[in-house]
Amino acid sequence: MSETTVPFESIKEELLQDPEVRAEYEALEPAYQVARLRMARGLTQAELARRVGTKQPSIARLESGRSTPRLPFLKQVAEALDAELVIRLEPK
């Protein structure tokens, strides 16, 4: 039996065809962006929390997608990460 490698993007594209999977993926995307940028900046959740003026569990909840953060909190996180907060509306 031969092994084949399937690129992640191919699997992702296929999975996102399912509306339920797409909705969950899109709901977690902002959380993923915060975690990715935090790690790229070489920060732990505790270090980011200190910069934001909150506690580590708040950052963990944000990164897990378990909470709906308020705009002022997101602005603080963006500033602490030296990032720009961009909000947009898209038609359904």
Distance of CA 62 to the CA centre of its chain: 8
Question: Which pLDDT score is estimated for 2?
Answer: 60
**What's the mean pLDDT in 13-20?**
88
37 touches 83 (CB < 8 A): yes
Mean pLDDT of the chain: 89
Note the pTM of the prediction, 2 decimals.
0.71
- 1 belongs to a structural domain: no
Question: Which pLDDT score is estimated for 79?
Answer: 97
We report the CATH number of the domain holding residue 41 as: 1.10.260.40
pLDDT category of residue 54 using cuts at 50, 70 and 90: very high
Work out the percent of the chain whose per-residue pLDDT is above 90. 50
pLDDT at position 1 over 60 = no
- 49 belongs to a structural domain: yes
21 touches 15 (CB < 8 A): yes
Quote the CA–CA distance of 41 and 45 in Å, as a whole number.
11
- 64 belongs to a structural domain: yes
Number of compact structural domains in the chain = 1
77 touches 52 (CB < 8 A): yes
